[in-house]
C-alpha cells in the first residue's frame, strides 16, 4: 500500500466515466472528476451509490473510500493525477482534443488511458505532445463491478508504461490483460461484434426474437462462459481427448454455410423498429434503472458463487481479497 493516497483524474463522466470514478473512489484513490454536462454530477452520485450497494458484498474487508473533487475543467482535473482515464464520446476529434488539453497540463509521467471501444492507441496519439504517454484501458460496463480491463499500447509506448498502468489497475481490484498488438476494437468487442452481427441477421430473417435470442444465451452458453470461457468449454466438449479431438471433429464444419459471417445486415428503419418493438415487449415495463438493479444483484450473486468455487473471476476476487488483507 502506498503511504500517500493516489489520485486519478476522470475526464468524461457518462456511463463509463462514472463507473471508473466509482471504481477508483471505492478502492481508496482520490478522484478528480470533470464532465461539462449539467447532469454529470447527478449521474456520478447515482453510480457511486450503486457501487456502494454492490462492492461491499464482494469484499472481506471493505477498502476505505478516497476523496472526490469535482473539477471545473480538464486542466483542473489532471492536477497531481498519476492516472488519467478519458471516457468522452466515441469520436476521434473529441478524444484527440481532450488528450491534447490533458497533455498540456498533466504530469509528463502520468498514465493517460482512453476507454475507447474502437480506436487504436496509434490513432489517439496522432498529433500528441507525448505519444508514449497514451494507452487504451478498455473496461466493461458496469466498470465498478466487472474486473476485466484490456490494456492496449502502440509501438510508441515503452513496456514500463503498460506495466505501471497494470499495477495501478490491479490496485483498484481490476484484472488487466495486456494485448500483444493494437487492432481496431481490441478483443472483447470484436468477439461481441460477431455475435451481434449474427443476432441482427436472425431477427431480420424472422428466425428468432430479441427475447428468444437472450433466452438462448442466458440459459446455455452464457452460463458456460461465466466460468470456463470459450476455449476451456470447447476443450471439455471434445470429450476425454480434449482440444485436438474437438478441432478435428468440428473444424471442417466452419467451412459449411452455417452463418453469414462476412455479411452485415442493413440496419434500416424496418429492422430498427422490429428490434425496438421486441425489446420493449421483453422489458415488460421495467425501466432501465430497474434493469440495472437486477443486473447488479445477479452479478454480485454470480461472483459470490464463483468465489465459493474459487473459479474464474471468483478466483481473481479471492486473490485480491487475500492481498488486501495481507496489506500488499
Contact residues toward ligand NAD (CB under 6 A) are 11-17, 34-37, 40, 87-90, 94, 98, 115-117, 138-139, 141
DSSP assignment of 10-75 = EE--SHHHHHHHHHHHHTT-EEEEE--STTHHHHHHHHHHHHHHHGGGG-SSPPPP--EEE-SSHH
Strand partners, 135: 113
> Which grid cell is 145?
463491478
Please, what is the minimum distance in Å from the beta carbon of residue 78 to ligand NAD? 11
Cα distances (Å, whole numbers) of residue 47 to 9, 81, 127, 162, 204: 17, 22, 34, 28, 35
Distance, CA of 142 to chain centre: 7
Pick 32 or 138: Cβ nearer ligand NAD: 138
Query: Which CB sits closer to ligand NAD, 151 or 235?
Result: 151
Whether the ω angle into residue 3 lies within 30 degrees of 0, i.e. cis, is no
Is residue 74 within 8 A of residue 316, CB to CB? The reply is no
Smallest gap from residue 155 Cβ to ligand NAD (A)? 22
From residue 135, give the alpha-carbon distance in Å to each of 18, 85, 121, 151, 314. 20, 10, 6, 7, 28
Q: How far is the CB of 193 from ligand NAD (least distance, A)?
A: 13
DSSP string, 141-178: SSTTT--EEEEE--TTS-HHHHHHHHHHHHHTT-EEEE
Q: Specify the residue, 30 or 86, whose C-beta has the smaller distance to ligand NAD.
A: 86
Question: In this structure, are residues 150 and 186 in contact, taking their beta carbons and an 8 Å threshold?
Answer: yes
Q: Which is nearer to ligand NAD, 11 or 78 (CB)?
A: 11
Please state the closest distance from residue 134 (CB atom) to ligand NAD, in A: 14
Smallest gap from Cβ 328 to ligand NAD, in A, equals 29
Q: Which is nearer to ligand NAD, 101 or 212 (CB)?
A: 101
Closest distance to ligand NAD from the beta carbon of 268 (Å) = 24
Residue showing the smallest CB distance to ligand NAD in the complex: 14
CB atoms < 10 A from the CB of 174, how many? 22
- With a CB cutoff of 8 Å and minimum separation 6, the contacts of 41 are 35, 70
Instruction: Report, in Å, the least distance between residue 145 CB and ligand NAD.
Output: 13
- Minimum separation from the CB atom of position 325 to ligand NAD (A): 30
CA distances from 279 to 211, 215, 254, 264, 291 (A): 7, 13, 31, 21, 13
Closest to ligand NAD by CB, 292 vs 319, is 292
Of the pair 121, 139, the CB lying nearest ligand NAD is at: 139
Q: Which is nearer to ligand NAD, 39 or 277 (CB)?
A: 39
Amino acid at each position: 500500500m502506498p503511504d500517500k493516497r493516489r489520485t486519478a483524474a476522470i475526464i468524461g463522466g457518462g456511463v463509463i466515466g462514472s463507473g471508473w470514478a466509482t471504481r477508483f473512489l471505492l478502492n481508496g484513490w482520490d478522484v478528480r472528476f470533470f464532465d461539462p454536462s449539467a447532469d454529470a454530477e447527478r449521474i456520478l452520485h447515482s453510480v457511486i451509490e450503486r457501487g456502494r450497494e454492490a462492492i461491499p458484498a464482494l469484499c472481506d474487508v471493505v477498502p476505505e473510500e478516497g476523496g472526490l473533487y469535482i473539477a471545473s475543467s480538464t486542466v483542473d482535473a489532471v492536477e497531481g493525477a498519476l492516472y488519467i482515464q478519458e471516457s468522452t464520446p466515441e469520436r476521434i476529434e473529441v478524444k484527440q482534443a481532450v488528450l491534447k488539453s490533458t497533455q498540456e497540463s498533466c504530469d509528463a509521467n502520468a498514465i493517460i488511458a482512453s476507454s475507447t471501444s474502437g480506436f487504436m492507441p496509434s490513432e489517439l496519439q496522432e498529433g500528441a505532445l507525448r505519444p508514449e504517454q497514451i494507452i487504451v484501458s478498455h473496461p466493461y460496463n458496469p466498470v465498478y463491478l466487472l474486473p476485466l480491463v484490456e490494456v492496449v499500447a502502440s509501438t510508441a509506448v515503452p513496456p514500463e508504461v503498460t506495466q505501471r498502468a497494470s499495477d495501478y489497475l490491479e490496485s483498484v481490484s481490476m484484472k488487466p490483460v495486456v494485448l500483444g498488438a493494437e487492432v481496431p476494437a481490441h478483443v472483447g468487442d470484436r468477439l461481441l461484434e460477431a455475435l451481434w452481427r449474427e443476432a441482427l441477421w436472425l431477427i431480420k430473417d424472422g428466425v428468432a426474437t430479441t427475447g428468444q435470442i437472450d433466452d438462448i444465451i442466458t440459459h446455455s452458453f452464457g452460463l458456460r462462459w461465466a466460468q470456463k470461457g470459450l476455449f476451456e468449454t470447447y476443450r471439455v466438449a471434445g470429450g476425454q481427448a480434449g482440444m485436438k479431438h474437438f478441432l478435428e471433429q468440428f473444424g471442417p464444419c466452419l467451412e459449411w454455410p452455417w452463418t453469414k459471417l462476412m455479411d452485415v445486415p442493413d440496419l434500416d428503419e424496418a429492422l430498427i423498429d422490429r428490434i425496438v418493438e421486441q425489446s420493449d415487449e421483453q422489458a415488460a415495463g421495467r425501466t432501465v434503472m430497474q434493469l440495472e438493479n437486477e443486473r447488479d444483484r445477479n452479478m454480485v450473486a454470480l461472483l459470490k458463487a464463483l468465489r465459493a468455487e474459487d473459479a474464474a473471476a471468483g478466483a481473481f476476487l479471492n486473490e485480491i481479497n487475500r492481498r488486501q488483507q495481507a496489506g500488499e
